[in-house]
Amino acid sequence: MLEITELVAGYGRSDVLHGVSLTVPEDGVVCVLGHNGAAKSTLLRAVLGLIRPSGGRVRLDGRDVTRLPAHRKVRAGLAYVPQGQQSFPQLTALENLRLVADGRGRDGAHALDEALDLFPALRELAGRRAGLLSGGQRQQLAIARALITRPRLLLLDEPTEGIQPSVVAEIQRTILELAGRGGLSVLLVEQHIDFALRAAQRYHVLEAGRITSTGEGGEAARDRVREALTV
């Protein structure tokens, strides 16, 4: 489904991602683990095209999409939930969702409804400005917004970072449910090792812009990942 080969990217003149390769299979969940500053977010931004890769390839269903602008990739089936509960702060919660549903006709309205079903709490908050929502609510809004385009591949950047524990569990449950439904692949960036390994069939440890360790997901991988992350 998604094939990343030797991807190089950075900011200005300096590269921070030094040739990363990984694939996300159809309906699969792949996680990327790594310390702060390892370039996990940079990897996702480069895949989506928010920053222009200076080398390597991104292929979606075999088609080279490396140079495609981000909004075109979204049309091709990618969706992205950036790190840090981002929203359009002055738009209401509902406007944040309608923005994406607009122009998708009936199906847009339908998808919007389904996204709200996933996080019923958002229904009551529909009229409130997104900037006034709590971090957890904003993250739910961000995930809902990403799902309205009916993506086939979801890029999730630390979806539970900095969120109160009660909401963390709900978000994690939703992610597992989405991944289990079929028709959706996930590339998940995480710092919670346990959750990441539970969700993913495959993990990659990223350090200073390079993959240093990789293997199958699941409980059994925990110690190996811990070790890879401490050295």
For residue 222, CA distances in Å to 12, 22, 38, 51, 189 come to 36, 20, 19, 32, 16
Instruction: Give the binding range for another protein (CB under 8 A) out of 17-25, 109-117, 145-153, 204-212.
Output: 145-153
Read out DSSP for 166-204?
A: HHHHHHHHHHHHHHHHSS-EEEEEES-HHHHHHH-SEEE
C-beta closer to another protein: residue 80 or 195: 80
C-beta closer to ligand ATP: residue 38 or 97: 38
162 binds ligand ATP (CB under 6 A): no
C-beta closer to ligand ATP: residue 92 or 213: 213
Among 100, 178, 211, 228, binds another protein (CB under 8 A): 100
160 binds ligand ATP (CB under 6 A): no
Q: Which SS3 state, helix, strand or coil, does residue 149 take? A: coil
Q: Which of residues 46-85 bind another protein (CB under 8 A)?
A: 48, 50, 69-71, 74-75, 80, 82
Evaluate whether 30 touches 186 at the Cβ level (below 8 Å).
yes
Map tokens 């070790």 to a residue.
Answer: 227
Strands 202-207 and 63-64: unpaired
Q: Which of residues 19-48 bind ligand ATP (CB under 6 A)?
A: 34, 36-42
Evaluate whether 135 touches 164 at the Cβ level (below 8 Å).
yes
C-beta closer to ligand ATP: residue 9 or 115: 9
* Contacts to ligand ATP by CB under 6 A: 11, 16, 34, 36-42, 83
